[in-house]
Structure 1
Protein backbone atom coordinates (compact mmCIF):
# COMPACT_ATOMS: atom_id res chain seq x y z
CA UNK A 1 0.00 0.00 0.00
CA UNK A 2 1.29 3.49 -0.83
CA UNK A 3 2.20 6.04 1.82
CA UNK A 4 -0.92 8.01 0.94
CA UNK A 5 -3.03 4.88 1.34
CA UNK A 6 -1.46 4.13 4.70
CA UNK A 7 -2.14 7.69 5.86
CA UNK A 8 -5.79 7.47 4.78
CA UNK A 9 -6.26 4.12 6.52
CA UNK A 10 -4.64 5.41 9.70
CA UNK A 11 -6.80 8.54 9.62
CA UNK A 12 -10.00 6.57 9.03
CA UNK A 13 -9.21 4.24 11.95
CA UNK A 14 -8.00 7.01 14.26
CA UNK A 15 -9.71 8.51 17.31
CA UNK A 16 -11.48 11.22 15.32
CA UNK A 17 -13.01 8.63 13.00
CA UNK A 18 -14.18 6.62 16.01
CA UNK A 19 -15.82 9.72 17.47
CA UNK A 20 -17.59 10.32 14.16
CA UNK A 21 -18.82 6.73 14.10
CA UNK A 22 -20.43 7.23 17.52
CA UNK A 23 -21.80 10.70 16.77
CA UNK A 24 -25.42 9.60 17.22
CA UNK A 25 -24.72 7.91 20.56
CA UNK A 26 -22.92 10.99 21.89
CA UNK A 27 -25.46 13.56 20.77
CA UNK A 28 -28.32 11.41 22.04
CA UNK A 29 -27.30 11.97 25.67
CA UNK A 30 -26.78 15.74 25.30
CA UNK A 31 -29.16 17.94 27.30
CA UNK A 32 -31.56 20.05 25.24
CA UNK A 33 -29.58 23.29 25.64
CA UNK A 34 -26.55 21.89 23.76
CA UNK A 35 -26.41 21.84 19.96
CA UNK A 36 -25.12 18.50 18.72
CA UNK A 37 -23.20 19.75 15.68
CA UNK A 38 -21.41 22.43 17.68
CA UNK A 39 -20.55 19.94 20.41
CA UNK A 40 -19.09 17.47 17.91
CA UNK A 41 -16.92 20.13 16.25
CA UNK A 42 -15.53 21.06 19.65
CA UNK A 43 -14.80 17.39 20.37
CA UNK A 44 -12.82 17.10 17.14
CA UNK A 45 -10.99 20.31 18.00
CA UNK A 46 -9.85 18.93 21.35
CA UNK A 47 -8.17 15.99 19.63
CA UNK A 48 -6.56 18.14 16.94
CA UNK A 49 -5.15 20.68 19.39
CA UNK A 50 -3.49 18.29 21.85
CA UNK A 51 -0.87 15.90 20.47
CA UNK A 52 -0.48 13.98 23.74
CA UNK A 53 -4.24 13.52 24.03
CA UNK A 54 -4.38 12.23 20.47
CA UNK A 55 -1.58 9.74 21.13
CA UNK A 56 -3.27 8.29 24.20
CA UNK A 57 -6.65 8.23 22.44
CA UNK A 58 -5.06 6.28 19.57
CA UNK A 59 -3.77 3.65 22.01
CA UNK A 60 -6.95 3.58 24.11
CA UNK A 61 -9.97 4.93 22.19
CA UNK A 62 -12.33 3.36 24.72
CA UNK A 63 -11.17 5.74 27.46
CA UNK A 64 -11.72 8.68 25.10
CA UNK A 65 -15.29 7.59 24.38
CA UNK A 66 -16.02 7.18 28.08
CA UNK A 67 -14.73 10.69 28.80
CA UNK A 68 -16.71 12.15 25.89
CA UNK A 69 -19.89 10.42 27.04
CA UNK A 70 -19.46 11.84 30.55
CA UNK A 71 -18.89 15.31 29.09
CA UNK A 72 -22.00 15.03 26.90
CA UNK A 73 -24.19 13.65 29.68
CA UNK A 74 -23.28 16.56 31.95
CA UNK A 75 -23.98 19.07 29.19
CA UNK A 76 -20.49 20.60 29.02
CA UNK A 77 -18.53 21.71 25.98
CA UNK A 78 -15.42 19.61 25.25
CA UNK A 79 -12.21 21.44 26.00
CA UNK A 80 -13.85 24.15 28.12
CA UNK A 81 -12.90 25.00 31.70
CA UNK A 82 -16.01 23.16 32.82
CA UNK A 83 -14.75 19.76 31.68
CA UNK A 84 -11.21 18.58 30.99
CA UNK A 85 -9.72 15.65 29.07
CA UNK A 86 -6.52 14.64 30.84
CA UNK A 87 -4.07 12.04 29.44
CA UNK A 88 -3.01 9.86 32.34
CA UNK A 89 -0.79 6.87 31.63
CA UNK A 90 -2.50 4.81 28.95
CA UNK A 91 -5.97 6.29 29.35
CA UNK A 92 -7.86 9.55 29.11
CA UNK A 93 -9.70 10.78 32.16
CA UNK A 94 -12.69 13.10 31.87
CA UNK A 95 -12.73 15.56 34.78
CA UNK A 96 -15.53 17.98 35.56
CA UNK A 97 -14.16 21.24 36.95
CA UNK A 98 -15.56 23.39 39.73
CA UNK A 99 -17.09 25.69 37.13
CA UNK A 100 -18.87 22.74 35.59
CA UNK A 101 -20.53 21.80 38.89
CA UNK A 102 -21.65 25.39 39.48
CA UNK A 103 -22.92 25.72 35.91
CA UNK A 104 -25.18 22.69 36.34
CA UNK A 105 -26.62 24.19 39.51
CA UNK A 106 -27.38 27.49 37.77
CA UNK A 107 -28.94 25.75 34.77
CA UNK A 108 -31.73 24.40 36.93
CA UNK A 109 -32.87 27.95 37.65
CA UNK A 110 -33.75 27.44 41.33
CA UNK A 111 -30.52 28.93 42.76
CA UNK A 112 -29.45 32.52 42.14
CA UNK A 113 -26.10 32.46 43.98
CA UNK A 114 -23.66 29.63 44.71
CA UNK A 115 -21.25 30.37 47.53
CA UNK A 116 -18.18 28.19 48.04
CA UNK A 117 -15.06 29.06 50.02
CA UNK A 118 -11.90 27.36 51.23
CA UNK A 119 -11.22 27.89 54.93
CA UNK A 120 -7.62 28.21 56.16
CA UNK A 121 -6.12 27.78 59.63
CA UNK A 122 -5.83 31.53 60.28
CA UNK A 123 -9.34 32.38 59.10
CA UNK A 124 -12.22 33.10 61.45
CA UNK A 125 -15.05 30.65 60.86
CA UNK A 126 -18.26 30.37 62.90
CA UNK A 127 -21.42 28.44 62.22
CA UNK A 128 -24.16 27.94 64.79
CA UNK A 129 -26.96 26.02 63.09
CA UNK A 130 -30.30 26.24 64.83
CA UNK A 131 -29.36 29.21 67.02
CA UNK A 132 -32.26 31.58 66.39
CA UNK A 133 -33.37 34.53 68.51
CA UNK A 134 -37.14 34.10 68.79
CA UNK A 135 -37.55 37.79 69.66
CA UNK A 136 -36.20 38.79 66.27
CA UNK A 137 -37.68 38.14 62.81
CA UNK A 138 -36.05 35.31 60.86
CA UNK A 139 -32.85 36.26 59.04
CA UNK A 140 -31.29 34.40 56.17
CA UNK A 141 -27.89 36.00 56.57
CA UNK A 142 -25.90 35.44 59.74
CA UNK A 143 -24.64 32.62 61.94
CA UNK A 144 -28.12 31.09 62.36
CA UNK A 145 -28.53 30.12 58.73
CA UNK A 146 -25.17 30.41 56.96
CA UNK A 147 -21.58 30.39 58.25
CA UNK A 148 -19.67 33.52 59.18
CA UNK A 149 -16.29 33.51 57.43
CA UNK A 150 -13.69 36.24 57.86
CA UNK A 151 -10.23 36.17 56.29
CA UNK A 152 -7.25 38.46 55.88
CA UNK A 153 -6.91 38.03 52.14
CA UNK A 154 -3.45 39.64 52.03
CA UNK A 155 -1.82 37.75 54.91
CA UNK A 156 -0.54 34.21 55.37
CA UNK A 157 -3.76 32.29 55.95
CA UNK A 158 -2.01 29.04 56.89
CA UNK A 159 -2.86 25.56 55.66
CA UNK A 160 -6.21 24.51 54.25
CA UNK A 161 -8.49 23.49 57.12
CA UNK A 162 -11.69 22.75 55.21
CA UNK A 163 -14.33 24.32 52.99
CA UNK A 164 -18.02 25.16 52.94
CA UNK A 165 -20.69 25.76 50.36
CA UNK A 166 -24.36 26.68 50.09
CA UNK A 167 -26.78 28.09 47.56
CA UNK A 168 -29.24 30.96 47.80
CA UNK A 169 -32.60 30.20 46.21
CA UNK A 170 -34.59 32.69 44.17
CA UNK A 171 -36.62 33.79 47.20
CA UNK A 172 -33.47 34.52 49.22
CA UNK A 173 -33.55 31.46 51.45
CA UNK A 174 -30.39 29.38 51.77
CA UNK A 175 -29.96 25.75 50.92
CA UNK A 176 -28.47 23.29 53.34
CA UNK A 177 -24.94 24.32 54.30
CA UNK A 178 -22.25 21.77 53.41
CA UNK A 179 -19.00 21.76 55.40
CA UNK A 180 -16.03 19.47 54.83
CA UNK A 181 -12.95 19.17 57.03
CA UNK A 182 -9.38 18.31 56.14
CA UNK A 183 -9.87 14.62 56.95
CA UNK A 184 -12.64 14.38 54.37
CA UNK A 185 -10.56 16.28 51.80
CA UNK A 186 -7.65 13.90 52.33
CA UNK A 187 -9.97 10.91 51.96
CA UNK A 188 -11.29 12.17 48.61
CA UNK A 189 -7.76 12.83 47.44
CA UNK A 190 -6.58 9.33 48.39
CA UNK A 191 -9.43 7.83 46.36
CA UNK A 192 -8.49 9.90 43.30
CA UNK A 193 -6.29 7.92 40.90
CA UNK A 194 -2.75 9.29 40.66
CA UNK A 195 -3.42 12.16 43.07
CA UNK A 196 0.23 12.18 44.21
CA UNK A 197 1.55 12.43 40.67
CA UNK A 198 3.30 15.79 40.12
CA UNK A 199 0.97 16.41 37.15
CA UNK A 200 -2.17 15.66 39.15
CA UNK A 201 -4.52 18.61 39.73
CA UNK A 202 -4.41 17.67 43.41
CA UNK A 203 -0.74 18.63 43.36
CA UNK A 204 -0.86 21.57 40.96
CA UNK A 205 -4.18 23.15 41.95
CA UNK A 206 -4.99 21.84 45.43
CA UNK A 207 -7.25 24.73 46.49
CA UNK A 208 -9.33 24.46 43.32
CA UNK A 209 -9.80 20.73 43.88
CA UNK A 210 -11.03 21.48 47.40
CA UNK A 211 -13.61 23.89 45.94
CA UNK A 212 -14.69 21.26 43.46
CA UNK A 213 -15.03 18.69 46.24
CA UNK A 214 -17.26 20.88 48.40
CA UNK A 215 -19.34 21.92 45.37
CA UNK A 216 -19.98 18.23 44.63
CA UNK A 217 -21.14 17.75 48.23
CA UNK A 218 -23.69 20.54 47.69
CA UNK A 219 -25.29 18.82 44.70
CA UNK A 220 -27.73 16.59 46.65
CA UNK A 221 -29.25 19.69 48.28
CA UNK A 222 -29.91 21.85 45.21
CA UNK A 223 -31.43 21.09 41.81
CA UNK A 224 -28.96 20.67 38.95
CA UNK A 225 -29.08 20.56 35.14
CA UNK A 226 -31.21 22.38 32.63
CA UNK A 227 -33.56 19.41 32.29
CA UNK A 228 -34.88 19.98 35.82
CA UNK A 229 -35.70 23.58 34.92
CA UNK A 230 -37.50 22.52 31.73
CA UNK A 231 -39.63 20.08 33.72
CA UNK A 232 -40.60 22.81 36.19
CA UNK A 233 -41.66 25.09 33.35
CA UNK A 234 -43.70 22.31 31.80
CA UNK A 235 -45.44 21.60 35.09
CA UNK A 236 -46.11 25.32 35.56
CA UNK A 237 -47.75 25.51 32.14
CA UNK A 238 -49.99 22.55 32.92
CA UNK A 239 -51.12 24.06 36.24
CA UNK A 240 -51.77 27.45 34.61
CA UNK A 241 -53.79 25.81 31.85
CA UNK A 242 -55.89 23.88 34.37
CA UNK A 243 -56.59 27.00 36.42
CA UNK A 244 -57.50 29.07 33.35
CA UNK A 245 -59.88 26.46 31.96
CA UNK A 246 -59.96 24.58 28.67
CA UNK A 247 -60.49 27.72 26.56
CA UNK A 248 -57.15 29.28 27.52
CA UNK A 249 -53.87 27.83 26.25
CA UNK A 250 -50.59 29.56 26.95
CA UNK A 251 -47.86 29.18 24.35
CA UNK A 252 -45.11 30.59 26.56
CA UNK A 253 -44.11 30.05 30.20
CA UNK A 254 -45.59 32.56 32.66
CA UNK A 255 -43.34 35.38 33.85
CA UNK A 256 -42.60 34.04 37.31
CA UNK A 257 -40.72 35.77 40.08
CA UNK A 258 -39.74 35.35 43.70
CA UNK A 259 -39.39 31.78 44.88
CA UNK A 260 -40.71 30.10 41.73
CA UNK A 261 -37.93 28.03 40.16
CA UNK A 262 -37.33 28.41 36.48
CA UNK A 263 -38.58 31.98 36.15
CA UNK A 264 -38.35 33.24 32.59
CA UNK A 265 -36.60 36.41 33.76
CA UNK A 266 -34.09 34.44 35.80
CA UNK A 267 -30.69 36.07 36.29
CA UNK A 268 -27.78 33.77 37.13
CA UNK A 269 -26.04 36.28 39.37
CA UNK A 270 -22.42 36.03 40.42
CA UNK A 271 -20.51 32.83 41.08
CA UNK A 272 -19.13 33.54 44.52
CA UNK A 273 -15.94 31.73 45.40
CA UNK A 274 -14.97 31.46 41.74
CA UNK A 275 -11.31 30.94 40.93
CA UNK A 276 -9.24 31.61 37.86
CA UNK A 277 -7.98 28.41 36.22
CA UNK A 278 -4.51 28.11 34.79
CA UNK A 279 -4.83 27.72 31.01
CA UNK A 280 -3.66 24.11 31.30
CA UNK A 281 -5.45 23.45 34.58
CA UNK A 282 -7.65 20.45 35.17
CA UNK A 283 -9.35 21.41 38.41
Structure 2
Protein backbone atom coordinates (compact mmCIF):
# COMPACT_ATOMS: atom_id res chain seq x y z
CA UNK A 1 0.00 0.00 0.00
CA UNK A 2 1.30 3.48 -0.85
CA UNK A 3 2.14 6.08 1.81
CA UNK A 4 -0.98 8.00 0.85
CA UNK A 5 -3.05 4.84 1.20
CA UNK A 6 -1.54 4.14 4.61
CA UNK A 7 -2.31 7.67 5.74
CA UNK A 8 -5.93 7.36 4.60
CA UNK A 9 -6.30 4.00 6.36
CA UNK A 10 -4.85 5.46 9.55
CA UNK A 11 -7.32 8.34 9.47
CA UNK A 12 -10.24 5.99 8.85
CA UNK A 13 -9.32 3.27 11.36
CA UNK A 14 -6.76 4.82 13.72
CA UNK A 15 -7.04 6.66 17.03
CA UNK A 16 -8.33 9.87 15.45
CA UNK A 17 -11.23 7.97 13.92
CA UNK A 18 -12.02 6.37 17.28
CA UNK A 19 -12.01 9.77 18.97
CA UNK A 20 -14.28 11.09 16.23
CA UNK A 21 -16.69 8.17 16.71
CA UNK A 22 -16.98 8.99 20.42
CA UNK A 23 -17.36 12.73 19.91
CA UNK A 24 -20.80 12.83 21.52
CA UNK A 25 -19.60 10.93 24.60
CA UNK A 26 -16.66 13.28 25.07
CA UNK A 27 -18.52 16.54 24.55
CA UNK A 28 -21.35 15.37 26.79
CA UNK A 29 -19.14 15.55 29.88
CA UNK A 30 -17.56 18.92 29.03
CA UNK A 31 -18.41 21.77 31.44
CA UNK A 32 -20.51 24.56 29.98
CA UNK A 33 -17.58 26.98 29.59
CA UNK A 34 -15.87 24.71 27.03
CA UNK A 35 -16.91 24.72 23.37
CA UNK A 36 -17.22 21.16 22.14
CA UNK A 37 -16.06 21.75 18.56
CA UNK A 38 -12.98 23.65 19.70
CA UNK A 39 -12.10 20.95 22.22
CA UNK A 40 -12.43 18.20 19.62
CA UNK A 41 -10.22 20.03 17.14
CA UNK A 42 -7.55 20.33 19.83
CA UNK A 43 -7.80 16.60 20.53
CA UNK A 44 -7.36 15.77 16.83
CA UNK A 45 -4.44 18.20 16.60
CA UNK A 46 -2.63 16.56 19.51
CA UNK A 47 -2.70 13.17 17.82
CA UNK A 48 -1.54 14.55 14.48
CA UNK A 49 1.38 16.47 16.01
CA UNK A 50 2.72 13.82 18.39
CA UNK A 51 3.98 10.68 16.67
CA UNK A 52 4.73 8.81 19.90
CA UNK A 53 1.27 9.55 21.26
CA UNK A 54 -0.26 8.33 18.01
CA UNK A 55 1.75 5.09 18.10
CA UNK A 56 0.74 4.23 21.66
CA UNK A 57 -2.86 5.25 21.00
CA UNK A 58 -2.91 2.91 17.98
CA UNK A 59 -1.87 -0.01 20.19
CA UNK A 60 -4.14 0.92 23.08
CA UNK A 61 -6.96 3.24 21.97
CA UNK A 62 -8.91 2.50 25.15
CA UNK A 63 -6.30 4.25 27.30
CA UNK A 64 -6.46 7.29 25.02
CA UNK A 65 -10.24 7.48 25.37
CA UNK A 66 -10.04 7.14 29.15
CA UNK A 67 -7.50 9.96 29.35
CA UNK A 68 -9.48 12.22 27.01
CA UNK A 69 -12.71 11.60 28.89
CA UNK A 70 -11.08 12.62 32.16
CA UNK A 71 -9.62 15.69 30.46
CA UNK A 72 -13.07 16.63 29.15
CA UNK A 73 -14.75 16.04 32.50
CA UNK A 74 -12.33 18.40 34.23
CA UNK A 75 -12.80 21.04 31.53
CA UNK A 76 -9.18 21.21 30.38
CA UNK A 77 -7.65 21.43 26.92
CA UNK A 78 -5.98 18.14 25.94
CA UNK A 79 -2.16 18.03 26.10
CA UNK A 80 -1.93 21.49 27.68
CA UNK A 81 -0.09 22.68 30.79
CA UNK A 82 -3.31 21.93 32.67
CA UNK A 83 -3.68 18.35 31.50
CA UNK A 84 -0.94 16.12 30.11
CA UNK A 85 -1.32 13.10 27.82
CA UNK A 86 1.72 11.01 28.66
CA UNK A 87 2.65 7.72 26.93
CA UNK A 88 3.76 5.11 29.48
CA UNK A 89 4.75 1.81 27.93
CA UNK A 90 1.68 0.52 26.12
CA UNK A 91 -0.83 3.00 27.45
CA UNK A 92 -1.58 6.70 27.63
CA UNK A 93 -2.07 8.31 31.01
CA UNK A 94 -4.00 11.51 31.50
CA UNK A 95 -2.33 13.61 34.20
CA UNK A 96 -3.82 16.83 35.54
CA UNK A 97 -1.09 19.33 36.32
CA UNK A 98 -0.87 21.73 39.24
CA UNK A 99 -2.02 24.48 36.92
CA UNK A 100 -5.15 22.49 36.08
CA UNK A 101 -6.13 22.07 39.73
CA UNK A 102 -5.69 25.78 40.37
CA UNK A 103 -7.63 26.69 37.23
CA UNK A 104 -10.62 24.69 38.44
CA UNK A 105 -10.53 26.53 41.76
CA UNK A 106 -10.41 29.93 40.05
CA UNK A 107 -13.13 28.89 37.64
CA UNK A 108 -15.69 28.60 40.44
CA UNK A 109 -15.21 32.28 41.22
CA UNK A 110 -15.36 32.00 45.03
CA UNK A 111 -11.57 32.18 45.52
CA UNK A 112 -9.50 35.13 44.34
CA UNK A 113 -6.05 33.82 45.33
CA UNK A 114 -4.65 30.30 45.58
CA UNK A 115 -1.45 30.07 47.57
CA UNK A 116 0.65 26.91 47.47
CA UNK A 117 4.29 26.42 48.35
CA UNK A 118 6.78 23.62 48.81
CA UNK A 119 8.65 23.72 52.12
CA UNK A 120 12.30 22.61 52.20
CA UNK A 121 14.51 21.54 55.12
CA UNK A 122 16.32 24.90 55.36
CA UNK A 123 13.17 27.02 55.15
CA UNK A 124 11.53 28.61 58.17
CA UNK A 125 7.94 27.47 58.56
CA UNK A 126 5.54 28.32 61.39
CA UNK A 127 1.92 27.22 61.54
CA UNK A 128 0.13 27.39 64.88
CA UNK A 129 -3.51 28.17 64.03
CA UNK A 130 -5.31 30.44 66.46
CA UNK A 131 -2.15 31.55 68.29
CA UNK A 132 -0.16 34.77 68.32
CA UNK A 133 3.41 34.57 67.05
CA UNK A 134 6.02 34.70 69.82
CA UNK A 135 9.14 34.49 67.67
CA UNK A 136 12.35 35.75 69.39
CA UNK A 137 12.76 38.42 66.71
CA UNK A 138 9.35 39.82 67.55
CA UNK A 139 5.82 39.34 66.18
CA UNK A 140 5.41 39.05 62.45
CA UNK A 141 1.67 39.60 62.37
CA UNK A 142 -1.02 41.17 64.51
CA UNK A 143 -3.55 38.95 66.24
CA UNK A 144 -4.15 35.21 65.83
CA UNK A 145 -2.26 33.37 63.12
CA UNK A 146 -4.67 32.55 60.29
CA UNK A 147 -2.19 31.46 57.60
CA UNK A 148 1.28 29.90 57.86
CA UNK A 149 4.46 31.95 58.03
CA UNK A 150 7.01 30.75 55.48
CA UNK A 151 10.41 32.29 54.87
CA UNK A 152 13.00 30.93 52.45
CA UNK A 153 16.28 31.96 50.88
CA UNK A 154 15.24 31.39 47.29
CA UNK A 155 18.81 31.59 45.97
CA UNK A 156 20.57 29.18 48.34
CA UNK A 157 20.55 25.44 48.88
CA UNK A 158 17.19 24.90 50.56
CA UNK A 159 17.79 21.20 51.24
CA UNK A 160 15.36 18.36 50.62
CA UNK A 161 11.61 18.72 50.31
CA UNK A 162 9.99 18.16 53.71
CA UNK A 163 6.39 19.17 53.00
CA UNK A 164 4.03 21.69 51.46
CA UNK A 165 1.05 23.85 52.33
CA UNK A 166 -1.82 25.52 50.53
CA UNK A 167 -4.80 27.75 51.18
CA UNK A 168 -7.17 30.00 49.28
CA UNK A 169 -8.29 33.57 49.87
CA UNK A 170 -12.01 34.06 49.28
CA UNK A 171 -13.45 37.10 47.54
CA UNK A 172 -14.20 38.77 50.90
CA UNK A 173 -10.55 38.44 51.95
CA UNK A 174 -10.94 35.61 54.45
CA UNK A 175 -8.66 32.57 54.15
CA UNK A 176 -9.89 29.05 53.57
CA UNK A 177 -8.80 26.11 55.67
CA UNK A 178 -5.02 25.70 55.52
CA UNK A 179 -3.79 22.33 54.27
CA UNK A 180 -0.35 21.08 55.34
CA UNK A 181 1.26 17.83 54.15
CA UNK A 182 4.52 16.26 55.31
CA UNK A 183 7.12 14.22 53.41
CA UNK A 184 5.64 10.91 54.55
CA UNK A 185 2.33 11.80 52.92
CA UNK A 186 4.06 12.97 49.74
CA UNK A 187 6.00 9.70 49.47
CA UNK A 188 2.80 7.73 50.05
CA UNK A 189 1.02 9.54 47.21
CA UNK A 190 4.00 9.03 44.91
CA UNK A 191 4.18 5.32 45.73
CA UNK A 192 0.51 4.90 44.82
CA UNK A 193 1.01 6.71 41.51
CA UNK A 194 1.42 4.27 38.64
CA UNK A 195 4.85 4.37 37.04
CA UNK A 196 6.13 7.03 39.43
CA UNK A 197 9.67 5.59 39.28
CA UNK A 198 9.75 5.64 35.49
CA UNK A 199 12.28 8.11 34.05
CA UNK A 200 9.45 9.76 32.10
CA UNK A 201 7.18 10.08 35.11
CA UNK A 202 6.45 13.65 36.25
CA UNK A 203 7.39 12.47 39.75
CA UNK A 204 10.92 12.02 38.42
CA UNK A 205 11.08 14.97 36.02
CA UNK A 206 9.15 17.58 38.03
CA UNK A 207 9.07 16.37 41.63
CA UNK A 208 8.44 19.75 43.28
CA UNK A 209 5.60 20.50 40.86
CA UNK A 210 3.96 17.17 41.69
CA UNK A 211 4.23 18.10 45.36
CA UNK A 212 2.41 21.35 44.59
CA UNK A 213 -0.30 19.44 42.75
CA UNK A 214 -0.65 17.01 45.66
CA UNK A 215 -1.20 19.76 48.21
CA UNK A 216 -3.55 21.61 45.85
CA UNK A 217 -5.64 18.44 45.57
CA UNK A 218 -5.84 18.34 49.36
CA UNK A 219 -7.21 21.90 49.27
CA UNK A 220 -10.06 20.97 46.91
CA UNK A 221 -12.54 19.75 49.58
CA UNK A 222 -12.34 23.16 51.27
CA UNK A 223 -12.96 25.43 48.27
CA UNK A 224 -15.34 25.31 45.28
CA UNK A 225 -13.61 23.91 42.20
CA UNK A 226 -15.82 24.12 39.12
CA UNK A 227 -17.59 26.49 36.78
CA UNK A 228 -20.82 24.61 37.30
CA UNK A 229 -20.72 25.53 41.00
CA UNK A 230 -20.70 29.24 40.15
CA UNK A 231 -23.46 28.81 37.60
CA UNK A 232 -25.57 26.87 40.09
CA UNK A 233 -25.10 29.57 42.73
CA UNK A 234 -26.38 32.24 40.31
CA UNK A 235 -29.31 30.08 39.23
CA UNK A 236 -30.30 29.38 42.83
CA UNK A 237 -30.05 33.07 43.73
CA UNK A 238 -32.27 33.98 40.78
CA UNK A 239 -34.89 31.40 41.77
CA UNK A 240 -34.97 32.63 45.37
CA UNK A 241 -35.32 36.25 44.25
CA UNK A 242 -38.06 35.36 41.78
CA UNK A 243 -39.96 33.33 44.37
CA UNK A 244 -39.84 36.19 46.87
CA UNK A 245 -41.00 38.68 44.25
CA UNK A 246 -44.16 36.76 43.39
CA UNK A 247 -45.70 35.11 40.27
CA UNK A 248 -45.91 38.27 38.18
CA UNK A 249 -42.22 38.93 38.48
CA UNK A 250 -41.36 35.26 38.01
CA UNK A 251 -42.88 35.34 34.53
CA UNK A 252 -41.19 38.58 33.58
CA UNK A 253 -37.81 38.23 35.25
CA UNK A 254 -34.99 37.60 32.75
CA UNK A 255 -32.43 34.89 33.37
CA UNK A 256 -29.29 36.57 34.70
CA UNK A 257 -26.43 36.53 32.23
CA UNK A 258 -23.60 34.23 33.12
CA UNK A 259 -20.11 35.08 31.99
CA UNK A 260 -17.25 32.72 32.53
CA UNK A 261 -14.43 34.53 34.34
CA UNK A 262 -11.15 34.51 32.41
CA UNK A 263 -8.54 32.07 33.54
CA UNK A 264 -5.58 32.80 31.29
CA UNK A 265 -4.95 36.15 32.98
CA UNK A 266 -4.73 34.36 36.30
CA UNK A 267 -1.53 32.65 35.25
CA UNK A 268 1.82 33.92 34.10
CA UNK A 269 4.36 31.64 32.53
CA UNK A 270 7.05 33.84 34.08
CA UNK A 271 5.67 33.61 37.60
CA UNK A 272 8.15 33.39 40.49
CA UNK A 273 9.13 30.40 42.57
CA UNK A 274 6.20 30.72 44.96
CA UNK A 275 3.51 29.42 42.62
CA UNK A 276 5.47 27.17 40.29
CA UNK A 277 3.97 24.92 37.64
CA UNK A 278 4.80 21.99 35.41
CA UNK A 279 7.00 22.92 32.47
CA UNK A 280 7.79 21.10 29.28
Distance in structure 2 (CA, Å) of the matches to 1:4 and 1:77: 30
Q: Which moved more, 1:104-113 or 1:142-151?
A: 142-151
TM-score, scaled relative to structure 2 = 0.87
Mapped partners of 2:146, 2:128: distance in 1? 8
> Quick one: structure 1 residues 124 and 267, their matched pair in 2 at CA, closer, same or farther if it must change by over 3 Å?
farther
Q: CA deviation at 1:265?
A: 10
2:102 counterpart SS class: helix
Matched, 1:103 2:103: yes
Runs of 4+ in 1 over 4 A off after TM superposition: 1-7, 140-143, 264-272
Structure 1 portions without partners, runs of 5+: 134-139, 255-261
TM-score normalized by structure 1? 0.86
| Greater shift in the superposed pair: 241-250 or 102-111 | 241-250
Which has more helix, going by share of residues? 2
SS at match of 2:248: coil
What displacement does 1:270 show?
A: 5.2
- 2:136 aligns with none
SS in 1 for 2:86: strand
Are residues 44 and 214 of structure 1, via their aligned partners in 2, closer, same or farther at CA, if it must alter by over 3 Å?
same
More displaced, 243-252 or 112-121?
243-252
- The 10-residue stretch of structure 1 (143-152 or 61-70) with the greater mean CA deviation from structure 2: 143-152
Q: Secondary structure at the match of 2:155?
A: coil
- Distance in 2 between residues matched to 1:112 and 1:175, nearest whole Å: 11
- 2:121 is matched with 121
Separation in 1 of the partners of 2:185 and 2:154? Answer: 24
Matched, 1:206 2:207: yes
Q: Which residue of 2 aligns with 1:22?
A: 22
Are the structure 2 counterparts of residues 77 and 252 from structure 1 closer, same or farther at C-alpha, using a change threshold of 3 Å?
A: same
Gaps of 5+ in 2: 134-140
Q: How many residues align?
A: 265
Q: State the shift of 1:87 in Å.
A: 0.3
Deviation at 1:275, TM superposition (A): 1.7
Cα distance between partner residues in 1 of 2:260 and 2:35: 22
Q: CA deviation at 1:217?
A: 0.5
Shift of 1:266: 6.8
2:77 — aligned with what? 77
**1:170 shift after superposition:** 1.1
Q: CA deviation at 1:245?
A: 2.9
Compute the RMSD of aligned alpha carbons. 2.5
Alpha-carbon displacement from aligned partner over 1:72-125 (angstroms, at most 9, x marks no partner): 000001121100000000000000000100011111111111100000111111
Deviations 1:247-270 (A, max 9, x none): 33442539xxxxxxx9x7978785
**Do 1:85 and 1:95's aligned partners in 2 also have CA atoms closer than 8 Å?**
yes
- Alignment correspondent of 1:41: 41
Q: CA deviation at 1:243?
A: 2.9
Counterparts of 2:48 and 2:2, CA distance in 1: 24
Instruction: Please give the residue correspondences for 1:101-180 in structure 2 after superposition, counting only pairs within 5 Å.
Output: 101-131=101-131, 144-180=145-181
Counterparts of 1:265 and 1:71, CA distance in 2: 19
1:276 deviation in Å?
4.6
Deviations along 1:162-197, one digit per CA (max 9) or x if unpaired, are 000011111111111100000000111111111111
CA-CA distance at 1:145 after TM superposition: 1.2
